[in-house]
Amino acid sequence: MKYKSSKGLSFVIDKLTNSIENVITGDSFPTDISVLTNQDMKTVSKKKGWLFEWKKEFKNPKRETYKLTIVHNPEIIQGLISVEVKSDHVYMHLVENAPFNKGKSKVYAGVAGNLVAFACRLSFQRGYEGNVSFISKTQLIYHYEKTLGAFHFGGRVMIIETKSALKLIDKYFKN
C-alpha cells in the first residue's frame, strides 16, 4: 500500500485544559484515550464530517490510531490521533478534532492538546523521554512553538522534547 508524504499537520491548540472543557459552561470532563476499533470506523468517515481518511490510518500496520473520549461516554469520539513509534521517538501523522469540536461553534476545547499530550506520554512509555515529532503547516510553526513548547528543527519539522512533553503530560494526565 502506498501513502502520500505528509503535507503537514494543521491542528490548532485552542486552549491547554486539564482534560477537555465545554466551551459554553466551562465545565471540565475527564477523558480516556484508547485504540480505535473496527466498530469506531463506522463513525469517523468523511461523510460524517471528518477531514482525513482515517480508514487508511487504521489499516496501516506501521501506525497506531487512538481515540479520545469522555470518561463514561466511550461511544462519542472527541478527537483522533495517528502515531508511528520510531526507533527513538513518536511521530504524529495526523491529529483531528471531531467535527463538532471545530470552529466557532465547537462543543469542547482542549481536544488537540489532550491528544498531543498523549503522544508525549506514549513516548515516555516506550522509553523515548517524551520526544515527539511532526511536520507542521508553515503558517502554524510559531503557534506550535508557543502553545506546545515545540521547537522548529528545520524545514517544517517540529520536535517536542522532554521538558515540554512533561509540561503537557502534567497538564492532562495528573495521576
5, part of any domain: no
CATH code at position 29: 3.40.630.30
pLDDT of residue 13: 81
pLDDT in tens, 68-127: 999 999 999 999 999 999 999 999 999 999 999 999 999 999 999 999 999 999 999 999
Using an 8 Å Cβ cutoff, are 118 and 95 in contact? no
What global pTM score does this model have? Answer: 0.92
Task: Identify the band that residue 1 occupies on the pLDDT scale cut at 50, 70 and 90.
Answer: very low
Greater confidence, 11 or 144? 144
14, part of any domain: no
User: ∠ CA 116-70-97 to the nearest 5 degrees?
Assistant: 45
15, part of any domain: no
> Residue 111: which residues within 8 A CB-CB, separation 6 or more?
20, 68, 78, 79, 97, 98, 101
162, part of any domain: yes
Spatial separation of the C-alpha atoms in residues 172 and 78, rounded to whole Å: 15
93, part of any domain: yes
φ/ψ region of 135 (left if φ > 0, alpha if ψ in -120 to 50, else beta) reads: beta
29, part of any domain: yes
Averaged pLDDT, 128-133: 97
User: ∠ CA 63-66-71 to the nearest 5 degrees?
Assistant: 165
Provide the residue range defining the domain that includes 102. Answer: 20-172
60, part of any domain: yes
Closest of 63, 78, 67 to residue 35, by C-alpha: 67
**Number of domains observed in the structure of the chain:** 1
